[in-house]
């Protein structure tokens, strides 16, 4: 499917997410992240594209734009020409990283690991 | 002197009456405007108080949702979650002009959170077994975040009402 406007919107969301400009939030369900742009516009990242007849999640992650009450406005998935599964995986990962504050947590873990002393650190 | 004043009034009584009339009209216009401004301010203060009350009511329901989830009573939590969604939409619409951009944006986030919470609760209510620890923690964390948002917004609204009272 061809939708240039949706591709432009998706690329903007990806770029702003990479810049940490979008404040993604975690939700009650693993892999779903939300961000409110204005009181009337919100973004949602899903860990899948669709749910099949058996209730199984299928496809790479997807992103959608909704209005303030949660009504679906635009769906951005790999089915649109110009949006790749890799980019969708990236946005899912970046959203998770922001929502769960993973950078700070990894920094804290790295700092703690640096402080740990092992046998090879002993001077004798 | 007095005679001249009487003559002046006799000759120009129409003009003098007009000037006095205009003065009285201006006087009553100013008072009417001040009364209207005061009435508008009083109405706004009442609406701000209503906003604080509506947020407090929603906050109570948010606390119920959290407590039911915490005690694994998912069916009850679903009912209160639905109620909270309704209350949130109601207060967003009713107080559209009074809510600032940031509080409105936070309530939009709350609505999105509630939608996912609802979905997870329905899934949990259908499954007989208990949820895994990670899923339960995420659900509780999300419910806690919703409750805290209402607490925060209520504090802001209450502060605004207190400002009116000073």
Position A107 pLDDT exceeds 80: yes
> Quick one: average pLDDT of B86-115?
91
State whether B116 and A29 contact (CB < 8 Å). yes
ipTM of predicted assembly, 2 dp: 0.78
CB count, 10 Å around CB of A3? 17
Average pLDDT of span A4-18: 96
Tell me if B109 and A25 make a contact (CB, 8 A cut-off): yes
For chain A, the distance separating the N- and C-terminal CA atoms, rounded to the nearest angstrom, is 67
Q: Do A28 and B117 touch (CB under 8 A)?
A: yes
Please state, in angstroms and rounded to a whole number, the distance separating the CA atoms of residues A60 and A21: 23
Chain B contact present for A118, CB below 8 A: no
Query: Residue B101 and residue A38: Cβ atoms within 8 Å?
Result: yes
Asked if the Cβ–Cβ distance from A28 to B143 is below 8 Å, we say yes
Contact residues, chain B, for A56 at CB < 8 Å: none
Q: pTM of the entire structure?
A: 0.78
B122: how many CB neighbours lie within 10 A of its CB?
A: 14
Split at pLDDT 50, 70, 90, the class of B165 is low
B72 — alpha (psi -120 to 50), left (phi > 0) or beta?
left
pLDDT > 70: percent of chain A: 98
* Residue A25 backbone class (left: φ over 0; alpha: ψ -120 to 50; beta: rest): beta
Q: In this structure, are residues A87 and A10 in contact, taking their beta carbons and an 8 Å threshold?
A: yes
CA dihedral A13, A75, B146, B132 (to 10 degrees): -110
Residue A86 predicted with pLDDT over 80: yes
Statement: residue B128 has pLDDT above 70: no
- Among A6-10, A64-68, B44-48, the range scoring the smallest mean pLDDT is B44-48
B115 touches chain A (CB under 8 A): yes
Residue A10: how many CB atoms within 10 A of its CB?
Answer: 23
Please give the span between the terminal C-alpha atoms of chain B, in angstroms, as a whole number.
55
CA-based angle A34:B119:B87, to the nearest 5?
75
Residues of A in contact with B98 (CB under 8 A): none
**Pick from A92, A70, A67: nearest CA to A10:** A92
pLDDT computed for residue B120 by the predictor: 92
């Amino acid at each position: 499917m061809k939708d240039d406007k949706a591709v432009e919107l998706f690329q903007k969301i990806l770029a702003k997410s990479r810049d940490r400009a979008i404040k993604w939030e975690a939700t009650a369900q693993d892999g779903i992240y939300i961000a409110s742009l204005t009181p009337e516009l919100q973004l949602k990242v899903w860990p899948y594209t669709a749910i099949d007849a058996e209730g199984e999640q299928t496809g790479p992650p997807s992103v959608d734009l909704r209005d303030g009450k949660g009504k679906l406005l635009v769906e951005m998935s790999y089915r649109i020409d110009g949006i790749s599964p890799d980019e969708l995986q990236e946005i899912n990962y970046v959203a998770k990283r922001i929502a769960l504050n993973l950078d700070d947590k990894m920094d804290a873990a790295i700092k703690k690991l640096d402080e740990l002393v092992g046998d090879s650190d002993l001077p004798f | 002197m007095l005679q001249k004043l009487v003559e002046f009034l006799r000759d120009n009584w129409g003009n003098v009456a007009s000037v006095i009339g205009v003065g009285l009209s201006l006087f009553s216009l100013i008072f009417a405007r001040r009364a209207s401004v005061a009435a508008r301010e009083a109405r706004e203060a009442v609406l701000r108080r209503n906003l604080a009350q509506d947020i407090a009511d929603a906050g109570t329901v948010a606390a119920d949702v959290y407590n039911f989830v915490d005690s694994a009573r998912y069916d009850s939590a679903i009912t209160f979650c639905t109620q909270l969604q309704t209350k949130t939409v109601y207060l967003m619409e009713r107080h559209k002009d009074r809510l600032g951009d940031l509080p409105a944006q936070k309530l939009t986030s709350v609505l999105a959170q509630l939608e996912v919470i609802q979905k997870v609760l329905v899934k949990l209510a259908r499954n007989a077994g208990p949820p895994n620890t990670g899923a339960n923690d995420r659900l509780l964390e999300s419910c806690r975040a919703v409750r805290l948002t209402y607490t925060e917004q209520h504090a802001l609204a209450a502060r605004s009402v207190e400002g009116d009272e000073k």
